[in-house]
Amino acid sequence: MKKRYIFIIVFLVIYVLLQVIPYNKDKNDTVFIVEKGQSPLVIAHGGAKLLYPENTWMAYDSCFEIGVDVFEIDLRLTKDNVLITHHNADISDTSNGKGLINQMTLEQINTYNFAQNFTTLDNNQPYKDLDAQQLLEYGNKLSPVSLEEMFIKYGDSILYILEIKDESIIGEHANTELLRLIEKYELQDNVCVASFNQDTLNHFESISDESIVTSFDMSTATSFIIANYAGYGYFTNYSKDGFQLPLKEFGVPLNTKYLINKIHKNDMFVHFWTINDKEEMKQLINIGADGIVTDRPDILIDLIKELNLK
Q: Per residue of the chain (310 residues), give pLDDT as tens.
A: 666 666 566 555 555 555 555 555 556 679 999 988 899 999 999 999 999 999 999 999 999 999 999 999 999 999 999 999 999 999 999 999 999 999 999 999 999 999 999 999 999 999 999 998 999 899 999 999 999 999 999 999 999 999 999 999 999 999 999 999 999 999 999 999 999 899 999 999 999 988 899 999 888 888 888 888 777 777 777 888 999 999 998 888 999 999 999 899 888 999 999 999 999 999 999 999 999 999 999 999 999 999 998 7
Is there a contact between 298 and 51 (Cβ–Cβ < 8 Å)?
yes
> What span, in angstroms and rounded, lies between the C-alpha atoms of 251 and 279?
20
CA atoms within 13 A on the CB side of 169: 1
Cross-strand bridge partners of residue 72: 45, 161
Cross-strand bridge partners of residue 271: 244, 291
The dihedral formed by the CA atoms of 231, 198, 100 and 76, expressed in degrees to the nearest 10: 90
Output the CATH code of domain 31-306: 3.20.20.190
pLDDT at 13: 53
Whether the predicted model's global pTM rises above the 0.75 cut? yes
* Reduced 3-state DSSP string for 179-243: HHHHHHCCCCCCEEEECCCHHHHHHHHHHCCCCCEEECCHHHHHHHHHHHHHCCHHHCCCCCCEE
* Residues present in the chain in total: 310
Straight-line distance from the first to the last Cα atom of the chain, in angstroms, rounded to the nearest whole number: 56
pLDDT at 115: 97
CB 230: neighbour CB atoms within 10 A?
Answer: 9
